[in-house]
Amino acid sequence: MKYGEMEQKLRREARALLKEGRVDIIIGFENGSLKFTTTPLITSDEADIDRLVINPFINNNLSVFLTETKGRVGIVVKGCDSRSLVSLLQDNKVTRDDVVILGIPCPGIIDLDKVEQLAGKERDEIIDISWAEASVVVAVEGERKEFPIQEVLYDNCLGCELPTPKEYDILLGEPASSIGVDNQADSLTKIKQLKDKPPEQRWSYWRNEFNRCLRCYACRNICPACFCKRCFVEESEPQWLLPVPKWQDNLIFQVTRNIHVVGRCTDCGECERACPVNIPLRSLSREMYQIADELFHYKAGMDKDIPPLMATYEITDSEDLVK
């Protein structure tokens, strides 16, 4: 991967954008304070530009910040993030002229949970993770372990439908039409296993999962599609939903959230990544994504010039929505 070249180009372009006054703010990634971690860098200061990085750990979907930043923004996006951005354009949450899109052709993001599992070490005890061609080499004390890339990428990356942003102003690398991993089905393994269960088992599965939800709302707050200024869970007069983390209320919160983001969710995977108690949230959102595609032939964030899914009605629309 040519991260170094992309990074250099990003810094050049971002510096020029600020210098020439074409943007007020740059939103990108910098190295985080923990190993193999990046963190959003949101800055107006040219002096910060050299901190911008591009590497296989840039997991955040930065478009979540667009609805709260003021002024013109230069933003770094991967393919999936660009779709979230396009979806925000479709919903008139962001104006195209106010953003300069710095697109990354993304080969996928490394899932540290998977690396930990495979290497048998936790992330801060791993010495190095390096990506060479089709494999990742993980150095732990005294040995180097090599794993095929498809074993360490995030599930949603394995099923990536748009590695290179379609909507961009500046592309930071050579465009690619796929992430080069030939096992998209792996992206849906967990979901398929769940769908194969009878409804009662599936019900008890989710009951169990939502039992530990703490209602920290990280899944909602990290999600670019969850842009409501007033969320139904915070309606207190009258109260719509009990803030007490009972599994029933937790489930209603998440189901409602999923219904609200269908047609906007781009399968970026941030909800599941953010969850501190490991609830497999993507199993819900990816299924909703599938249903939107099957019923309405709609994939979120692919075309800024068409109206959002939930804002249109065609006489030919499928009526199978409610069963």
Partner 1 sequence: MKKHKIKKRDLAKLLSEWSNEFTILTPSRAEGATKWTKWDGVDTTFLDWYRNTTVPPKALFLPAMEEMFSFHRDKEGYHIEAPLLDTPKQLVFGIRPCDARSLALLDMTFRDAYEDPYYLAKREGAVLVGLACTRPYDSCFCTSLGSSPDDSSHVDLLLTDIGDEFLMEAITDKGNKLLTSTSFTETAGKAAETRAKESKETAYRKVTRKINVEGVKDRLLSCFDNKDYWEKVALKCISCGICTFLCPTCYCFDINDEFIKNHGERFRNWDSCAFPLYTKMPVENPRPEKWQRLRQKVCHKYEFYPMNFDVIGCTGCGRCIRLCPVNWDITLALTNLPAKAECEQEK
Question: Does 285 help bind partner 1 (rule: CB under 8 A)?
Answer: no
Interface with partner 1, residue 127, by CB under 8 A: no
Which residue, 33 or 92, is less far from partner 1 as judged by CB? 33
3 binds partner 1 per the rule CB under 8 A? no
**243 near 233, Cβ under 8 Å?**
yes
Q: Distance between CA 293 and CA 301 in Å, rounded?
A: 12
150, burial (CB in 10 Å: exposed 0-12, middle 13-18, buried 19+): buried
Q: Rule CB under 8 A: which of 90-119 touch partner 1?
A: none
Report the length, in residues, of the chain.
323
Rule CB under 8 A: is residue 155 a binding residue for partner 1?
Answer: no
Report if residue 64 touches partner 1, rule: CB under 8 A. Answer: yes
Candidate list 177, 276, 312, 321; residue touching partner 1; CB under 8 A: 276
At residue 172, the 3 state secondary structure works out as coil
Does residue number 128 form part of the binding site for partner 1 (CB under 8 A)? Answer: no
Token code pair at residue 67: 């609805």
Q: Which of 8, 211, 256, 290 binds partner 1 (CB under 8 A)?
A: 211
Q: Which tokens belong to 43?
A: 């800055």
Tokens 């030919």 — which residue?
Answer: 316
Q: What is the C-alpha to C-alpha distance for residues 63 and 75, in angstroms, rounded to an integer?
A: 8
CA 188 – CA 73 distance, rounded (Å) = 35
Of residues 78, 260, 264, 273, which one binds partner 1 by CB under 8 A? 273
Smaller CB separation from partner 1, 248 or 312: 248
Q: Which of 129, 270, 301, 309 binds partner 1 (CB under 8 A)?
A: 270
**Nearest CB to partner 1, comparing residues 132 and 277:** 277
81 binds partner 1 (CB under 8 A): no
Beta carbons within 10 angstroms of residue 107's beta carbon = 23
With CB under 8 A as the contact rule, which of the stretches 28-36, 85-93, 145-153, 295-303 interacts with partner 1? 28-36
Element (H, E) at 176: none
d(CA 86, CA 43): 22
Q: Tell me which stretch binds partner 1 (CB under 8 A): 87-95, 142-150, 153-161, 270-278.
A: 270-278
By the rule CB under 8 A, 243 interacts with partner 1: yes
Query: With 0-12 CB in 10 A as exposed, 13-18 as middle and 19+ as buried, what is 35?
Result: middle
Binding site for partner 1 (CB under 8 A): 32-35, 37-42, 60, 64-65, 122, 124-125, 208-209, 211-212, 214-218, 220-222, 234, 236, 239, 242-246, 270, 273-274, 276-279
